[in-house]
Amino acid sequence: MLAPNFRHEINGEKLIMAIAQDYKTNKILMAAYMNEEAYEKSIKTKKAHYYSTSRKQLWLKGETSGHIQKIKEILVDCDMDAIILKIDQKVGACHTGYETCFYRRITNENELEIIEEKVYEPKDVY
């Protein structure tokens, strides 16, 4: 059985990096972690599951909001400790209402500038 190398330990949990990327536009939607259970559930259900390092638990992305991430394809990196999920994203990936979690850029003045439009209102969803 092919398995990634869950070699990065954070708060006692062995993890890989998981990057969700829109399968059509190649936009990076979010970056998170998976433990072995999250990885196996993602493979089995074709829906992205992650491991929350702050809440210390597995989560199905979109469980509350309905904004499920359907997995179209998985890529793996050279040393097998990071994966890309090619994703069909329902509505938006970010809990703040934006399509992606990377909705801000750092300006030359070292300030944050918002570069996306909201795709939904969080108060309507959570």
60 is a site residue for its own copies (CB under 8 A) = no
Residues for the chain: how many in total? 126
76 is a site residue for its own copies (CB under 8 A) = yes
As a whole number of angstroms, the distance between CA 21 and CA 74 comes to: 10
As a whole number of angstroms, the distance between CA 53 and CA 49 comes to: 13
State the nearest-atom distance from the C-beta of 118 to its own copies, in Å. Answer: 12
Cβ closest to its own copies, residue 58 vs residue 122: 122
Q: Radius of gyration (Cα) for the chain, nearest Å?
A: 15
Binding site for its own copies (CB under 8 A): 1-2, 8-11, 17, 19, 21, 25-28, 30-31, 43, 53, 73-79, 82, 84, 94-96, 98, 101-106, 110-112, 115
